[in-house]
Structure 1
Amino acid sequence: MVGPSRAHGLCRGGKALDLWPSLQSFVQSVRSGSFSAAARDAGTTPSAFSKKVARLEAHLGVRLLIRGAKGLELTPEGQELFQRVDRAFEDVEDACMQATRATEPRGLVRVSAAMDTGRDWLMPRIPRFARAYPHVELEVSLSDRFVDLLAERFDVALRVGEFDDGRLMRRRLGRMRRCFCASPAYLRARGVPRRYEELAGHVKLAYLRGTQRDPWELPSGGRLHPQGPFASDNNAGLRQLTLAGLGVAWLPELTIAEDVQRGALQVLLEHPPDPGMPISLAFPQGRLLAPRVRAFLDFFAEEARTSLRP
């Protein structure tokens, strides 16, 4: 792009950018040899080209082209202008080609993710993303604290639960649901609960939120308040306690999916699933997404389609 100071030196009034369409018509006409040929290439009329070149000549106050027997001929002033502007157009075309090649996803994407969902769902899929997009770098911050994407300069956030922020767009991935589970060793020792009421007689592993223990929400609408000897403020910690056979836990399906698959944990009291909380990708609104960010969003949206419940 021609800067204002150079534009002022090239064209009176400093309006080179305003003259861009006329300069394009001038260059195309010279390259094609006639207004008619240039018009055919552009899919317009010869008079449209002629008028734009005439406006350029009027603005500059010099004759640039003469219609000769063999087509358009350049005046000395036209020859000098063409040589310079033609080089400029070639530079612009090269720059556009470079920009097109630059749309291949590459560069850094900064991601904020909720602790459990990031650890159990996002992180295991990053190797596949890395193979699909070898030129994209990721910085992933796992935290359950509130993250202001704009203030902290994150590109994307993987969030659990509803949020209302008019500055952000949202791409829904699925839902995070919880289920009751225990190890086979614990169940052999204490028995398998067949009804929710029977959970009251089991060792209940509690999730700590501050100093309070989260109640267990039952499908009937009732609640159980875990008061057992073990509690943690981290689902990964509760998973370890459950695998060790210390009690029954209410954990996200994502956290225990592999344990259930290999038989290390057993889901209890099968019932219509907990409605759970939405899982979304959030990103700043009103920005043209860089190819690297769009690649991240598209890849993990497709991953969610096959791995998360709707």
Structure 2
Amino acid sequence: MEIWPYLQAFIQSVRSGSFSAAAREAGTTPSAFSKKVAKLEAHLNLRLVVRGVHGLELTPEGLEFFHRVRQAFDDIEDACAQATRATVPRGRVRVSAPRDLGRLWLMPRIASFAQAWPQVELEVSLSDQFVDLIAERVDVAVRVGTFEDGRLARRRIGRLRRCFCASPAYLRARGTPRTIEELAGHVHLAYLRGGLRVPWQLPGGGQLEPRGPFAADSNDALRQLLLDGLGIASVPELSVAEDVKRGRLEVFLEDMSEEGLPISLAFVRGRPLAPRIRAVVDFFAEAARTSLPQ
């Protein structure tokens, strides 16, 4: 005998005070409750209730049984309530992102995330240094490029493309390059990584070594050099999008721009994602659909 529905009928009948009242609450008939309680009594070989002038009355054995079963039901309800609360995103999530991508794309969307998930706390670290998610206890990392790490799962959210640009004043003075050969003859602003100038990637896998008197190890610094009219640079589209929109910088050789590197959200593989981490991954993946090149 599957005893659960009969226990439910017994508890509900006693709490309601009669079979009729329990039936009204459940949207069924009094006889349905009466029969279930009778079957429970038969199963236990024990008289649990009697019909009194004021409704159901418990026998001494029924009273003791009711208290014990009611406690079990209360414990089950509490467990279900706790499990439900556990599925609501809440708690702290540590997020890591590269400096420029974090400043230009991630941070402007934090306020919207806070409105969507007010019980999730974000700790954001912006750094171009490699971050070991497990060793440094980071929950979600925004990664640019491909990476091979069997400990991590990743969710692709877009691409980081670079473009060639310069200030209108520079282009008026030196002319706008129309070919790679013309580009080679201009003043180049180089990006430094580890003290070395990073080559410009060209279509078809080619490269151009940037030469010129100025170089910097951040795209913010390159942007300022561009605005000052000191040369041409290959920079992420995101870092100059507002300047291009306002006419402070101009993009050229767009058909020569690189395809770009994949942007992913990385998190530890091999265990179900906590609701708070899932909320972060899903929110920013959805935000990327309309704000990052796909």
TM tier, shorter chain?
0.7 to 0.9
Aligned residue number for residue 180 of structure 2: 196
What TM-score do you get using the length of structure 1 for normalisation? 0.76
1:259 is aligned to 2:243: yes
1:288 is aligned to 2:272: yes
Extract structure 1 runs of 4+ deviating beyond 6 A. Answer: 67-70
Offset at residue 305 of structure 1 (A):
0.6
1:245 is aligned to 2:226: no
Please give the secondary structure, in 1, of the residue aligned with 2:150. Answer: coil
Offset at residue 91 of structure 1 (A):
4.3
Offset at residue 23 of structure 1 (A):
7.2
Aligned residue number for residue 222 of structure 1: 206
Aligned residue number for residue 15 of structure 1: none
Aligned residue number for residue 286 of structure 2: 302
Aligned residue number for residue 12 of structure 2: 31
Q: Is the 8 A contact 2:202 2:257 kept in 1?
A: no
Q: Is the 8 A contact 1:183 1:266 kept in 2?
A: yes
Identity %: 63
Please give the secondary structure, in 2, of the residue aligned with 1:242. Answer: helix
Offset at residue 198 of structure 1 (A):
0.7
Shift of the 136–67 alpha-carbon distance from structure 1 to 2, 3 Å rule, reads: closer
Aligned residue number for residue 8 of structure 1: none
Superposed CA offset, 1:233-289 (max 9, x none): 222221121111111111111111111111111111120642211101112223333
Shift of the 87–245 alpha-carbon distance from structure 1 to 2, 3 Å rule, reads: same
For structure 1, the residue ranges without an aligned partner over 5 or more in a row are 1-20, 58-62
Offset at residue 201 of structure 1 (A):
1.2
Aligned residue number for residue 132 of structure 2: 148
Aligned residue number for residue 165 of structure 2: 181
Question: In 2, Cα distance between the equivalents of 1:169 and 1:299?
Answer: 17
Question: How large is the Cα RMSD of the aligned pairs?
Answer: 3.4
Aligned residues: 278
Q: Is the 8 A contact 1:111 1:138 kept in 2?
A: yes
Superposed CA offset, 1:162-191 (max 9, x none): 122222222110111111111111111211
Question: In 2, Cα distance between the equivalents of 1:24 and 1:166?
Answer: 48
Please give the secondary structure, in 2, of the residue aligned with 1:149. Answer: coil
Please give the secondary structure, in 1, of the residue aligned with 2:134. Answer: helix
Question: In 1, Cα distance between the equivalents of 2:205 and 2:153?
Answer: 33
Shift of the 106–243 alpha-carbon distance from structure 1 to 2, 3 Å rule, reads: same
Q: Is the 8 A contact 1:27 1:82 kept in 2?
A: no
Aligned residue number for residue 235 of structure 1: 219
